[in-house]
Structure 1
């Protein structure tokens, strides 16, 4: 390779993209309809993925390799369209394991992680209560590190909705959510929608 001429700055290679878009707003792409049995319709409309109410669950599952298993951030927007239970059950990798962030479950207001030491979001220390409105978009941000899982709802302020030290804890998903591994979004007897799904590496 020729050396740069004197006084001519060397051209550096562009860094790898720090953020990956997981939804182009037009097609499902690598999102496959999750075979829960009894699931509702799934379709793309107006830049969003709609998950219609199922009996009991409707969801989507990522079917391609994920760029990260830890030290990453997922951001997305989620909305409850109809119903009164969880409209965003986000399943995600935690190293070689998996976990789910539940928003609006158990009658519509309960949030948390399922599972921690075999206990679901309704029965572990991540339980949080939030009142959600139908047809309102909520901005979700999730951080996964080897020793900690954190999640924020922009509408709830700067404090994390979930801030869980997972050192020496057993992390897994409820059996109902297993079909969403390695990553997916599901609803329970509820119609929901998601959009603007992104994933990026966290650099401390």
Structure 2
């Protein structure tokens, strides 16, 4: 009787071991999926206050206030803006997204200055009299003079959605989900114009225009997103 039970016990024990191994594999797969899932965006504007922001110290800047859930930057002589007061934001492998509109004026209304590793650049939207959208500066050349120079027509009192992705190799910029810039910046000297340096490390500025901002968020890119962004320029 004892001899007959041994195979049964052996099979039961073997089955238990296999079940334990399978359970561990499933747990590992779940952990891997959790790591690869996109992190939740960091909300940088709560729609109620300027918490996390300070008025940029531009000369003769206009008023900055929250009106009806929107940050409104009144015209300055010549610039008005906001700069983050946070110290915990990523500097590479991230996505910055925001919505902006020009209420009055004819120049840039939400030029975004952001970090690229240890450097900074500015995405100018509608600069030089409303004709230029591009990155300042590359090898000392402004957006109006370098390869990122694009024409995007902006209508006043119209919201536009902007998305900026930064990796250790590339900068990509979208307007209303259309990519207008995809730059491999390796080998280039990056830097902001002296006028927008007060917006570092992250901020927005208007030029002789009234600009509005909402839905400002930033999030880390997934490994797959970083690889896709870098691969597109190889």
TM-score in terms of structure 2 length: 0.78
- Give 2:56's match in structure 1, choosing from 8, 19, 34: 34
Misfit runs of 4+, over 4 Å? 12-17
Relative CO higher for 1 or 2, CA cutoff 8 Å, sep ≥ 6? 1
Please provide the CA RMSD for this pair. 2.0
Q: How does 1:61-72 map to 2 (within 5 A)?
A: 61-72=83-94
Which digits, 9 at most, give the CA deviation of each residue in 1:165-198, with x for residues without a partner?
1011111100000000000000011110000000
Structure 2 SS opposite 1:129: coil
Flag the structure with larger Rg: 2
Match of 1:89 among 101, 111, 120: 111
- TM-score, L = length of structure 1: 0.90
Unaligned runs of 5+ in 1: 1-6
The equivalent residue for 2:180 is 161
Work out whether residues 101 and 156 of structure 2, in 8 Å CA contact, stay in contact via their aligned partners in 1. Answer: yes
Work out the CA distance in 1 between the residues paired with 2:103 and 2:88. 28
Native 8 Å contact 1:101 1:114 kept in 2:
yes
**2: CA distance, partners of 1:177 / 1:66:** 21
Map 1:2-21 onto structure 2 (within 5 A).
17-21=39-43
- Among candidates 185, 197, 207, match of residue 178 of structure 1: 197
- Decide which structure has greater strand share: 1
Q: What residue ranges of structure 2 are gaps of 5+ in the alignment?
A: 1-22, 225-234
